[in-house]
Amino acid sequence: MFPLPALTADDEWVRRAFAPRDVAFVPACTFTARAPRTLHALVQTRRRSLRGSKAITAMGITSPRGEGAVAMLRAALPQPRLWAAMAVYVLVMVWVRLLLATETTITRPKWERDLTNRTRHTES
């Protein structure tokens, strides 16, 4: 696993380095994930994420089965209250995939970071 290769999705690299049976979930451990505040920031973030995942897959490291958009859609379909959110998700993902399909070859990794939900830390 280490040293990490020069790629955008180092978090995805680490995630794929472990089999699902080797991952433990600790109920007492919590975190807050903040969604991008704008559609533009969401598209940039998803594009970077998918570009990184594609690069890792091209290295021969596949994602564990049962994960991804299809699994998420299967879980949401029986819940009508989630249908509107899933429709938006699908539209954004199709848009992002179209952008990636029409993208010219990038010689260096492109970092599209969401800065819409960052707070500035100031020294006191």
Where along the chain do its domains lie? Answer: 10-101
- Rounded mean pLDDT, 14-42: 89
Average pLDDT of the chain, as a whole number: 84
CA atoms within 13 A on the CB side of 1: 10
Would you say the pTM of this structure is higher than 0.85? no
Give the pLDDT confidence score for residue 110 in this predicted structure: 59
Using one digit for the tens of pLDDT, what is the confidence trace for 27-38?
999 988 888 999
- The number of beta carbons lying within 10 Å of the beta carbon of residue 78 is 7
- Rounded mean pLDDT, 74-92: 92
pLDDT band at 96 (very low <50, low <70, confident <90, very high): very high
- DSSP reduced 3-state for 117: coil
CB 47 within 8 A of CB 96: yes
